[in-house]
Structure 1
Amino acid sequence: MMKHRSILFLLGTTILIGALMCIERYFVTQELTVNQKTQHSSLRDRIVSTAQPAEEANAKRKRKIEKFCKLKRFSALEMTVDSWSANGVHSRPRLYFTDSMKLIFCETPKCGTTQWRNLMLIMDGHLNGFEAGPEDNFEMSMKHNFMWTKFNLKNQTHASNVNERLRQYYKIMTTREPLERLVSAYRDKLETNKNHFYYAVSKQIHKVANPQSPPGPASFEEFIDSILSTKSRMGLDPHWKPYSELCSPCKINYDYVAKMEMVYDDTTVITRNIGIARDRIYNATGRERVQERRNELFHEYYLRLPIAKRDAIFRYYKDQYDMFDYDYPDFISDSKFNKNE
């Protein structure tokens, strides 16, 4: 009898311990589930809180562009290639596309375009998840994704294919403070000899500006003078050609006009809309310090210029400030440019 009681006692104790463990596991699981839901909810809330102001800012930019186009009496938005077919490739908007993502991207050099081209190459299977160097990136993108390499507008079927993509695909372009972009282009392309082609361009600019001086790279002032002496902005190098000449925003209704100054927030919205992870394009780490350094260089280079030239180069690009909703630089001296009109 005692033996049976001992067995029953041990059995009951085992069952009780097991039940207690199950109850504990249940509550731990519930707690983890709640924490996971809270974390997911928190992440979703952060994305929503980031996305809404960015979407509102984009809507404002698009209204600004539409208003500018009407004010300047440009033709109404007409997403067809008819107006480009008679022009050479260099006169057309610099459009890249990917059918796998149903995305069209207009290239505006010095505004983060390399990352977008790289993404297209990866998503289309031309890169195995690795970034290509700038030169390889450009050559591969021209071969695989550049609209005017893939389609001949003199062919009616090709023209129809381009028009269909313009109507249906998600279209984006990027901008940057216009005069800050010039500093970036000068520092990257002309100030050093890391790119042989542009170093030759730099030396030629210097030679024209100062034929009696020793050979060498162009100064920033000589670079600015070379731009000011170019009457037709369509003849400028793409790295300092205005956005309006690069992307035809009065003819193409871009779904999103992103700004380098808001790159993290804008990219969050764009990548959500096209269904990819945001960190495939940009990482937020250190972006505040990067922008601070850009602002420092921006003022450093322009304060070297005579006041008259600062005003002149601003007037040259003033319509880009108005069209893409940028505040005027604080170093402009002309009183009528003290605030945006």
Structure 2
Amino acid sequence: MPPSRAAGARSGSAGAPGSTGRRGSTVLPSVLTFLVIVASGGLLLLIERGMLNGLETPPPRRADRGPEPARRDQAAVDTESQILQEIRNRTIRTVCGQKNMPHSVWSLSPQQRKTLLQHLLVNDQHRFLYCYVPKVACSNWKRVLKVLTGALESVDVNVKMDHRSDLVFLSSMKPEEIRFRLKHYFKFMFVREPMERLLSAYRNKFGEIEAYQKKYGVEIVRRYRKGRAKEASAGDDVTFTEFVHYLLDEDAERMNEHWMPVYNLCQPCAIPYDFIGSYESLERDAEFVLQRVGAPDHVRFPARQTWYKPVTTETLHYYLCSLPQKLLRELLPKYILDFSLFTYPLPNTTAKFCRH
């Protein structure tokens, strides 16, 4: 099986179940159970049944074979990547085959379709669609797109990223133009561990961005903080617990894109993505995509900026363990499809785990 096929979520089904209210979840318990089983046991099942025979891994665009031990190490990494892609593919096909799922982009609700098309970036020269997900290296991907079109000379040009100019969105096109590109273009997206992405958005937007502090922070404090402390808040001191309270009361389909579930942003049932890359293997997966779309060799994925502050395992552990267990139990269902479809294990926040 060629890599582009192995990497694809080849489902003809579509749709996003709506997400409503604080305690509501439209995902059926049986489906939830299935998803958790797949995410936790799918890897062993695939290995046992030998479903990876014949899968190939694309060679790097730059012909550097390297020493023999390095090649063996790379082969192990490539096999792991193919396993992950195959698990995702099978999970997505099964879940998206449920009868309650719409069957195409045009079966989505107007709100769902609007969100999706506004997040699909188009490159006609190299015939691909990229669904961007905030807090999953989307700024760097937008730089790559601008270099491919000549709007930027290099990904290293030191300019503030304009997230709208010199980019083509699928939402700007006519229905027949949309249909053609959905059918014939290479389609890809990148995902990240859901709680890590959420924490990254919280720290960035409420710790550094004044516009978010004023627009969202002040309102969050007003709603969820008791006593006189809320009166003096400028929205720059929102606690993670207050942020989670806010998320629980938000409709997933109308959230800000920085904390909207990836499922709602990119609709992996409605779009048969050819490749779903991971933030955890960003450089390797980005290289594969650039090779697959035929990008010139001088176009590379940008290195992370020196000022970038990653969310470490220890940091995520600290924030999740600081949450009341009841809040976390209510939060996870909002992101359960992100966990399950993209094979991320649910976080362990038991009392014993959190004591360490």
Whether TM exceeds 0.5 here: the answer is yes
Alpha-carbon offset, residue 229 of structure 1? 1.1
Alpha-carbon offset, residue 106 of structure 1? 0.5
Q: In the alignment, which residue of structure 1 is the partner of 2:315?
A: 297
Residues 96, 235 of structure 1: alpha-carbon distance in 2 compared, 3 angstrom cutoff: same
Residues 207, 162 of structure 1: alpha-carbon distance in 2 compared, 3 angstrom cutoff: same
Question: What TM-score does the superposition give when structure 1 sets the normalisation length?
Answer: 0.72
Q: Tell me: higher relative CO, structure 1 or 2? Use CA pairs within 8 A at least 6 residues apart.
A: 2
- Partner AA of 2:124 in structure 1: D
The one-character-per-residue Cα deviations of 1:158-215 (angstroms, maximum 9, x if unpaired) are 21111111111111111111111110000000123x3424443212211221264221
Report whether the alignment pairs 1:171 with 2:194. Answer: no
Report whether the alignment pairs 1:42 with 2:69. Answer: no
Asked whether the equivalents of residues 155 and 301 of structure 2 are also in contact (C-alpha less than 8 Å), the reply is no
Asked whether the equivalents of residues 122 and 130 of structure 2 are also in contact (C-alpha less than 8 Å), the reply is yes
Q: Secondary structure at the match of 2:129?
A: strand
Q: Secondary structure at the match of 1:253?
A: coil
- Partner AA of 2:339 in structure 1: Y
Instruction: Give the 5 Å matches for 1:323-338.
Output: 323-331=341-349
Residues 47, 269 of structure 1: alpha-carbon distance in 2 compared, 3 angstrom cutoff: farther
Q: In the alignment, which residue of structure 2 is the partner of 1:140?
A: 165
- Partner AA of 2:221 in structure 1: H
Report whether the alignment pairs 1:309 with 2:336. Answer: no
Residues 135, 284 of structure 1: alpha-carbon distance in 2 compared, 3 angstrom cutoff: closer
Alpha-carbon offset, residue 279 of structure 1? 7.4
Among 103, 126, 140, the alignment partner of 1:101 is 126
In 2, the alpha carbon distance for the partners of 1:130 and 1:195 equals: 27
User: CA RMSD for the aligned pairs?
Assistant: 3.2
In 2, the alpha carbon distance for the partners of 1:240 and 1:331 equals: 21
- Amino-acid identity (%): 22
In structure 2, list runs of 5 or more residues that go unmatched.
1-62, 352-356
Report whether the alignment pairs 1:91 with 2:115. Answer: yes
Moved more, 125-134 or 249-258: 125-134
- Partner AA of 2:169 in structure 1: F
The one-character-per-residue Cα deviations of 1:122-150 (angstroms, maximum 9, x if unpaired) are 11111122456786330325xx32221x3
Alpha-carbon offset, residue 251 of structure 1? 0.9
Instruction: Give the 5 Å matches for 1:70-85.
Output: 70-71=97-98, 73-76=100-103, 78=104, 81-83=105-107
- Partner AA of 1:67 in structure 2: T
Asked whether the equivalents of residues 183 and 297 of structure 1 are also in contact (C-alpha less than 8 Å), the reply is no
- Partner AA of 2:269 in structure 1: C
Among 245, 254, 265, the alignment partner of 1:246 is 265
In 2, the alpha carbon distance for the partners of 1:47 and 1:274 equals: 26
Asked whether the equivalents of residues 228 and 313 of structure 1 are also in contact (C-alpha less than 8 Å), the reply is yes
Q: In the alignment, which residue of structure 2 is the partner of 1:208?
A: 223
Among 284, 303, 312, the alignment partner of 1:265 is 284
The alignment covers a number of residue pairs equal to 279
Asked whether the equivalents of residues 108 and 246 of structure 1 are also in contact (C-alpha less than 8 Å), the reply is yes
Asked whether the equivalents of residues 96 and 105 of structure 1 are also in contact (C-alpha less than 8 Å), the reply is yes
Alpha-carbon offset, residue 268 of structure 1? 3.0
Moved more, 173-182 or 39-48: 39-48
Among 186, 205, 211, the alignment partner of 1:196 is 211
Q: In the alignment, which residue of structure 2 is the partner of 1:7?
A: none
Residues 317, 133 of structure 1: alpha-carbon distance in 2 compared, 3 angstrom cutoff: farther
Alpha-carbon offset, residue 243 of structure 1? 1.0
In 2, the alpha carbon distance for the partners of 1:85 and 1:132 equals: 40
In structure 1, list runs of 5 or more residues that go unmatched.
1-38, 152-157, 334-341
Report whether the alignment pairs 1:63 with 2:90. Answer: yes
Alpha-carbon offset, residue 46 of structure 1? 7.0
- Partner AA of 1:330 in structure 2: N
Residues 88, 302 of structure 1: alpha-carbon distance in 2 compared, 3 angstrom cutoff: closer
Asked whether the equivalents of residues 118 and 137 of structure 1 are also in contact (C-alpha less than 8 Å), the reply is no
